[in-house]
Chains A and B, each alone.
Chain A
Amino acid sequence: MNFSSKLIEEAVSAFASLPGIGRKTALRLVLHLARQQPEAVEQFAEAVAKMRRGIRECERCHNLSDTPVCNICADPRRDQSLICVVEGIRDVMAIEDTGQYRGLYHVLGGVISPIEGVGPAELNIDSLIQRAQAGGVREVIMAISPTIEGETTIFYISRKLKAPGVNISTIARGISFGGELEYADELTLGRSIVARVPYKGGGEE
């Protein structure tokens, strides 16, 4: 693309660095912003910058949060004895959307995959084990996609997480097999969390 303006060119490059945005879309967005009132664009940019300045990981569950402890963890009405273990933040959103779950979460940040260079140390597994062993936790629910990597991760955590009185369960099978949790429709996902089953130890079925 040939730009008459260095300013436009830089802005297009910035937008095009975002996932899912090609240079054509980036140009459309930039040209749109170029036609807006300067104050409106300032507000837009400030919202983005403010978000990044303020956002952090919840120090308990690793969900994204505005405060050191996220508002799910801080909500006294939620069942503190349940921890739902998920791969990513979007899984938290998907499960919250079902409205069927009133416990807490723990975001792993991925699944174990040596091929991708992701071992247990790269994930939030140690902090999960500390939470579960600190007392007050009755059940850890593994809401992890039933892929090979997901199975490995569930088995590994179940081996490490040996705390008295803590049960481990998995969400019902058959939801979006091989896919990701976030693609399961709300109803199925909600049902599968309600109808979770005790974890048997993996491997053979």
Chain B
Amino acid sequence: MHLQYFILTNFKNYESQRIDCSSQLNCFLGRNGMGKTNLLDAIYYLCLGKSHFNLPDSLLARHGADFFRLEGCFTLEGRQERIVAKVIPRKKKELERNNLPYQRLSEHVGLLPVVMIAPDDTYLATEGSEARRRFLDNTLSQLDNDYLQQLITYNKVLQQRNALLKQMADSGRYNAALTEAYDLQLLGPGRAIHQARQAFMGRFHGLLQEKYRIISGQAEAIDCAYDSRLNETPFDQLLEESREKDRILQRTTAGIHRDDLNLSIGGYPLKRFASQGQLKSFVLALRLAQYRLLQVEKKAIPILLLDDIFDKLDNERVRRLLGLLLEGGFGQTFITDTDENRLSAIVEHFGRDYVKYAVENGTATKIQAP
């Protein structure tokens, strides 16, 4: 699978831009703040229908513009897939596949697998559990669209249940039958998501350790354990047990929306005990394992977006990462960098077909190969 070309209209700092891609390596060269990352985010948006950075659509439209449009033409198993996103923030969001608008945006997820590796990925280790659930959900949704549908259902029921708990507390009238209605509706998707996450961790674990060994050059044991109260207690029992607590706190306190991944290194929690270097290696390994898993389990080889990571990693890790990339098995890759010499070295190293663009203030110009 690869992206042939993409067109940005009023997206971030781009007014109108077309990028023709190499099916192998694509480089965006430019100083910080010029809009290199926005090009990667546009690709990400075409693949998953949203920004990698969790930005609302209103912040994606170019300053002063009331809409944005993205168009991408992909080759997938010999077919052409033309994806167009037309967005008027807060008013309209439409995603089309080959001129047919999706009924629901979520149907698109999984068609075009993508992984972005960005310098601020350490948030996966340092932030709260939501960041790690999002990592899990992003990977699992790309693997299995049914997982995403279950998750959407679960979240909608959860919102209703929480709103009910709040209203019951405000009015002082407890409605047992209605609470039970929401409990029953949570059970099906809750159990399905828990099972999918558990099974996923079984497949993910080995890949993660392998990638960590390569990136860090260390043999130390790392772990990424799935932490869920559903591991020990059936979900219906959990809901039953937390009924009183839920009433007092006015929100649902048990369920897969509280799951976490416990990241550790040598038996110690990563967040508190790891060095900066270990932290960076760990999250890079998480991403590479995510990429590999998608690659193995999807028919299409995912697109790899590498945002400025050669600048933020030390030379040793860059060397190992390049080694990994060179080993092959990676599909179409997009790289941003600020340093022309380093980028040239990388391109040479690869020895693959490539295109290079110079990015300056929301304009990308193709650099002709010498």
A residues adjacent to B (C-beta < 8 A): 112-115, 117, 119-120, 148-149, 151-152, 155-156, 159-160, 178, 201-205
Shortest Cβ distance from residue B353 to the other chain A in the assembled complex, whole angstroms: 44
CA of A113 to CA of B160, assembled, Å = 7
A152-B181, A203-B187 given. 19 additional CB < 8 A pairs? A112-B178, A114-B161, A114-B166, A114-B167, A115-B163, A120-B178, A148-B156, A151-B181, A151-B185, A152-B182, A152-B185, A155-B184, A155-B185, A156-B178, A156-B181, A203-B184, A203-B185, A203-B188, A204-B187
Chain B min CB distance to A110 (Å): 14
Question: Can you name the residue of chain B whose Cβ is closest to the Cβ of A112?
Answer: B178
Task: Name which residue of chain B comes closest to A151, CB basis.
Answer: B185
Separation of A205 and B183 alpha carbons in the complex (Å): 14
Q: Chain B: which residue is nearest A205 at the CB level?
A: B188
26 inter-chain pairs at a CB distance below 8 angstroms, sorted by A residue, are: A112-B178, A112-B181, A114-B160, A114-B164, A114-B166, A114-B167, A115-B160, A115-B163, A119-B164, A119-B175, A148-B153, A148-B160, A152-B160, A152-B182, A155-B180, A156-B177, A156-B178, A159-B177, A159-B180, A178-B104, A202-B181, A202-B184, A202-B185, A203-B183, A203-B185, A204-B187
> B51-94 interface mask toward A, CB cutoff 8 Å, 1 = contact, 0 = none?
00000000000000000000000000000000000000000000
CB neighbours (8 Å) of B159 from chain A are 115
Which 10 interchain pairs have the tightest Cβ spacing? A203-B184, A114-B163, A155-B181, A114-B164, A159-B177, A204-B188, A115-B163, A152-B181, A148-B156, A156-B181
CB closest residue in chain A, given B103: A178
> Bound state CA distance, A148 and B156, in angstroms?
8
Count chain B CB atoms within 10 A of each CB in A112, A149, A178, A201 and give the residue with the most.
A112
List of A residues within 8 angstroms of B164 by Cβ? 114, 119
**Closest chain A residue to B161, Cβ basis:** A114
Q: How far is it, in angstroms, between the C-alpha of A152 and the C-alpha of B185 when the chains are bound?
A: 8
Q: Closest residue to B186 on the A side, CB-wise?
A: A203
Q: Give Cα A203 to B157, complex, Å.
A: 11
Nearest Cβ on chain A to B332's Cβ, whole angstroms: 35
Assembled-state Cα–Cα distance A149/B160 (Å): 9
What is the CB-to-nearest-CB distance from A116 to chain B, in angstroms, rounded to a whole number?
9
Contacting residues, chain A, for B167 (C-beta < 8 A): 114, 117, 119
**Could you tell me the distance between the alpha carbons of A160 and B188 in the complex, rounded to whole angstroms?**
22
Name the A residues within 8 Å of B187 (CB-CB). 203-204
CB neighbours of B185 from chain A (8 A):
148, 151-152, 155, 202-203
Q: Taking the nearest CB of chain B, how far is it from the CB of A30, in angstroms? A: 28
Would B156 and A160 count as touching, CB distance under 8 A? Answer: no
Q: How far is the CB of B215 from chain A (nearest CB, A)?
A: 43
CB distance from B31 to the nearest CB of A (A): 46
- Give A115 to B162 CA distance when docked, in angstroms: 9
Chain B residues near A151 (CB-CB < 8 A): 181, 185
What is the 8 Å Cβ interface bit string for chain B, positions 130-163, against chain A (1 contact, 0 not)?
0000000000000000000000010011011101
Q: How many Å lie between the Cα of A152 and that of B186 in the bound state?
A: 11
Taken together as a complex, chains A and B put the C-alpha atoms of A204 and B150 apart, in Å, by 12
Report which residue of B104, B160, B167, B181 has the largest number of chain A beta carbons within 10 angstroms of its beta carbon: B181
A160 and B177 contacting across the interface, CB-CB below 8 Å: yes
In the complex, what's the smallest C-beta–C-beta distance from B251 to chain A, in angstroms?
Answer: 12
